[in-house]
Amino acid sequence: MSRRSSPVIPGFGLTLGYTLVYLSLLVFLPLAGMFIYAAQLSWSEFYAIVSAPRVLAALKLSFGTAFIAALLNGVIGTLFAWVLVRYRFPGRKVIDAMIDLPFALPTAVAGIALTALYAPNGFVGRFAADLGITIAYTPFGITLALTFVTLPFVVRTIQPVLADIPRELEEAATCLGARPLQVFWNILLPALLPAWLTGFALAFARGVGEYGSVIFIAGNMPGKTEILPLLIMVKLDQYDYLGATAIGVMMLVVSFVLLLLINLLQRYVAKG
Amino acid sequence: MSTTSHQNSRNAPSWARLALIIAAWATFIVFLVLPLAIVLIEALKMGVAHFFDSMLEADAISALKLTLLAVAISVPLNLVFGVAAAWCVSKHDFYGKSVLITLIDLPFSVSPIIAGLVYVLLFGAQGFFGEWLIEHDIQIIFAVPGIVLATLFVTVPFVARELIPLMQQQGTQEEEAARLLGASGWQMFWHVTVPNIKWGLMYGVVLCTARAMGEFGAVSVVSGHIRGFTNTLPLHVEILYNEYNHVAAFSVASLLLILALIMLLLKQWSESRINRQLNNGDE
Amino acid sequence: MSIEVRQVHKQFGNFTALNNINLDIKAGELVALLGPSGCGKTTLLRIIAGLETPDTGSILFNGDDVSRRDVRKRNVGFVFQHYALFRHMTVFDNVAFGLRMKSRRERPSEAVIAEKVQELLRMVQLDWLSDRYPEQLSGGQRQRIALARALAVEPQILLLDEPFGALDAKVRKELRRWLANLHEDINLTSVFVTHDQEEAMEVADRIVVMNKGVIEQIGTPAEVYENPASDFVYHFLGDSNRLKVADQDIQFRPHEVLLSQVAVADHQPGIVRDIRPLGAITRVTLKVEGQDEPIEAEVPRDDVNLQGLTRGATLFFKPKAS
């Protein structure tokens, strides 16, 4: 790595070295270790593990619910960001502060709380049952739990961008005759889109790997309501290290590819 | 980070504005307030005495101790790392800088289960070092060291993520000025850099601590779930819940909830100080 | 303390910031590095300070080669364009900083430090602000504190990087004069960077005009203004007009012109496009047949040739002999 910095600010070598060593020991090497461990499997063995029906079901469930939850948060998050940035109303500061609650709250606490709420005899679950809808122990419940946990991501990525859009842009559009909805659609949304996509990607990535807040409400029935992280746990409990590793590797690779796609989409949007 | 711009939109008609505000409030209550409330309601279902008993019970106390130990080790270590990484990245220019920044975020985007899995593969019975560890009678997995490692992994990025944009924004001029006036590297760091980043540090530490206290998935994998020995508070909650001891589970959960709310307050406080500092500093 | 710049060359990738620069600055001089953005003046200043290292070449202070010397040991006072005051310290602590950072042996006692700081603050006429924080000061005040801070460690050389660039026009003018006066009092070898030719002319003993990494001319303000060494210097140091007469190309300043309302020998005719009173002077813009660029003439507001002058009228002008 070549250096173009001022010779005045010291500590480059020391801090870079420490950073690299620390990260390698704690993060890179263990992650690499996982891939190396998986390399014990031949391609066909690997494929056999990850294409088992139970694994595929978990894959579809984890990625599917995470996607929908992220989408839901895309809407809810935009609503919150809009209202918090542009309006003044009683309780605004409270809501603003509490948006980060899912971020600060231990996932296990969220898990049991949401289950208590949405179980058939729970506060909300009761009303849903009257309407014939079961929430807990279904993919619906999983999606709701993921929506809670990933709530802050879209809000917090959009908020600063929304706040920074210069007022003059909207004023210019209005002077030229645009109605509020047109201003929103043509001026504001395009400006927010890259940030929205970032928030979406973060929520999605978090949702796929989420464990604590979901396993209580999920029901965990193999093939139906078993999420991918749980399946890894199950394999580990059975001492099937190879199986667990194969699934873990697949999960990482699929997530990585999806995030890369979202990243490319975001860059495309940001340019145009 | 949250921002509080006070632009009052004059464009949207007031009924639309009202509708949006009501929608926000409704969503807020359903999604954020209800879960909070339910924890406290369920915890107090059998009365206050039972509530406190659950929290003071022996296994709960040892779970608390283990949680605090994990926090006490991970947060300072990741604080030092965060400062070093932010220093390296924000005050210097080098090829591969953006790659390094992305890599620092890695633990943030990896599932906590995988975070635990990688350490099992390294130090578990069938892992890379498994036999060596057994020969030397060292236990990492299903023991305290494993829990600390897993917590360390998932909390790596928090301080760095907060400091990097802050220090980038503050630039290098004050440090250069200090050097020109004769300060040594450490003098420059202590007298000039640290006071400027202290609120960012606080913010990062708060987030790091909250995550370390609440980590569940990663710790779940490496812990043996042995009551009184390898259970953190969140794991203890899970055990109580699975035993249908719901009230005790929610009681311990409310302790974690209160801690989380305190973290939120501290986070808000340090964030407002950061914003104040940024707004005043440059003109 | 004299400064010698020998064959200093600096590249950033493909971009040549400084192209084999040679420069001699006498002890006690106040020299301006003047030029447009990107000409290399700030890079040269930072190299003298030790904040950057040249690819080749050397810097000598009083004959000693300091090129390898660490920035801390060069004993250079540096004033940044955006002040770089320590935002979390009071004015007093800012100015005292350099003294407090000295090693045990060299560090004066707190009492001595306090005295020095007060003296410096008095010199910059801001001793009443010593308890304030930078954010409570105006731009002009901050810059004076930055100067006091730089002077506290008794440097042999003072370097200023566009010191007034971030200030309002009026404050800029005031501080300019103040700096020139200060220099007369303390007589410290000083180099300052600016892109404002008026500023360089008003303050400096000598001006170094730079363009694209090269020195175009070095001279006193009078020299570079009256005897510009190149077209670039001429154009950079003031407004200019260009007139083609027969096959001659005459360049002259707007105020170097004689006007007449009636035809006179050697005077060119022009149609008045605009008459603009600018306070003490009035600017008349003339369109001359056969020329693309209009001619701008600046005369005192009570010039006799302005009486009754209207747009569209014909006015005769002649560049003063140059």
pTM listed for this prediction: 0.81
Q: How confident is the model at residue B11 (pLDDT cuts 50, 70, 90)?
A: low
Interface of C with A in 47-86 (CB under 8 A): 50-53, 71
The span from the CA of B253 to the CA of A108, in Å, is 8
Look at residue B78 in the predicted model and tell me its pLDDT.
Answer: 95
Residue ranges of chain A whose pLDDT lies below 70: 1-7, 271-272
Higher-scoring residue by pLDDT: C249, C39: C39
Q: Output the pLDDT for position A173.
A: 78
- Non-local (6+) Cβ contacts of A151 within 8 A are A73, A76, A77, A99, A102, B31, B32
With 0-12 / 13-18 / 19 or more C-beta atoms within 10 angstroms meaning exposed / middle / buried, residue C123 is middle
pLDDT digits (tens, 9 = 90+) for B236-252: 999 999 998 888 999 99
Nearest CA in chain B to C166: B283
Residues of B in contact with C153 (CB under 8 A): 181-182
Taking CB atoms and an 8 Å limit, are B111 and A251 in contact across chains?
yes
Check pLDDT > 50 for residue B6.
no
Greatest distance between any 2 Cα atoms in chain A: 72
Give me the pLDDT at residue A6, please: 55
User: What tens digit of pLDDT does each residue of A212-230 get?
Assistant: 999 998 888 888 889 999 9
Which residues of chain C make contact with B191, given a CB cutoff of 8 A? 86, 97, 101
pLDDT above 90 covers a percentage of chain B that reads: 50
For chain A, the structural domain boundaries read 8-39, 42-271
Taking residues C239-251, what's their average pLDDT?
Answer: 80
Q: Which two tokens stand for residue A125?
A: 């679950």
- Pairing state between β C314-319 and C268-278: antiparallel
Contacts of C55 (CB under 8 A, 6+ apart): C9, C10, C11
Model confidence at B4, pLDDT cuts 50, 70, 90, reads very low
Which residue type, as a one-letter code, is found at position A48? A
Rg (CA), chain C: 24
For B83-117, the pLDDT digits (tens) are 999 999 998 888 888 888 888 888 888 899 999 99
> Which one of B173, B181, B188, B189 would you mutate to disrupt binding with C, by most C Cβ within 10 Å of its Cβ?
B181
Please tell me the predicted confidence (pLDDT) of residue A20: 93
* Residue C100: per-residue pLDDT: 87
**For residue C97, which of B183, B176, A8 has the smallest C-alpha distance?**
B183
Residue B283 is predicted with a pLDDT of: 40
pLDDT in tens, B109-151: 889 999 999 999 999 888 888 888 888 888 888 888 999 999 9
Residues A4, C52: C-beta atoms closer than 8 Å: no
**Buried-state track B244-281, b at ≥16 Cβ within 10 A, e below 16:** eebbbbbbbbbbbbebbbebbebbbebbeebeebeeeb
Contact between chains at B13 and A170 (C-beta distance less than 8 A): no
Residue of chain B minimizing CA distance to A244: B117
Which positions in chain A touch B39 (Cβ < 8 Å)? 109, 112-113, 116
Instruction: Find the closest chain A residue to B17 by CA distance.
Output: A87
CB A243 within 8 A of CB A235: yes
How far is CA A46 from each of CA A172, A239, A245, rounded to the nearest angstrom?
A: 59, 17, 10
Asked whether the ipTM of the predicted complex exceeds the cut of 0.90, the reply is no
Round to whole Å and give the CA distance between A100 and A77: 12
CB contact under 8 A, A245 and B81: no
Q: Say if CB B23 and CB A82 are below 8 A apart.
A: no
Residue A162 with chain B: CB contacts under 8 Å: 5
B-contacting chains (≥3 CB pairs under 8 Å): A, C
- Among B173, B183, B184, the residue with its CB nearest the CB of C84 is B173
B172 Cα to chain A: minimum distance (Å): 8
Q: Which residues does chain B have within 8 Å of residue C102's beta carbon, measured at their own beta carbons? A: 182
Which pLDDT does position B142 carry in this prediction?
86
Interface check for B5 against chain A (CB to CB < 8 A): the answer is yes
B233: distance to nearest CA of chain A, Å?
A: 9
User: Chains contacting A with at least 3 CB pairs below 8 Å?
Assistant: B, C
Interatomic CA distance for residues C208 and B101, integer angstroms: 43
Between these two residues, A74 and B282, which has the higher pLDDT value? A74
pLDDT mean over B53-80: 91
Question: In this complex, is the C-beta atom of C181 within 8 Å of any C-beta atom belonging to chain A?
Answer: no
Phi-psi region of A2 (alpha: psi -120 to 50; beta: other; left: phi over 0): beta
Count Cβ atoms below 10 Å from residue A272 Cβ, excluding itself.
7
pLDDT, tens digit, 9 for 90 and up, residues A17-70: 999 999 999 999 999 999 999 998 888 988 998 889 999 999 999 999 999 999
From 3.40.50.11610, 2.170.120.12, 1.10.3720.10, 1.10.10.10, which CATH number describes the A42-271 domain?
A: 1.10.3720.10
Q: Which residues of A touch C12 (CB under 8 A)?
A: 4
Do B79 and B205 contact (CB within 8 A), yes or no?
Answer: yes
**Percentage of chain B surpassing pLDDT 70?**
94
d(CA C19, CA C11) in angstroms, rounded, equals: 8
Calculate the average pLDDT of chain C: 89
Size of interface B-C (CB pairs under 8 A): 64
- What is the distance between the alpha carbons of residues C86 and C97, in angstroms, rounded to a whole number? 9
Query: Residue B65's pLDDT band (boundaries 50, 70, 90)?
Result: very high
Return the SS3 of C64: strand
Instruction: Assess contact for C56 and C223: CB atoms under 8 A.
Output: no
The distance of C91 to chain B (nearest Cα, Å) reads 14
CB A163 within 8 A of CB A96: no
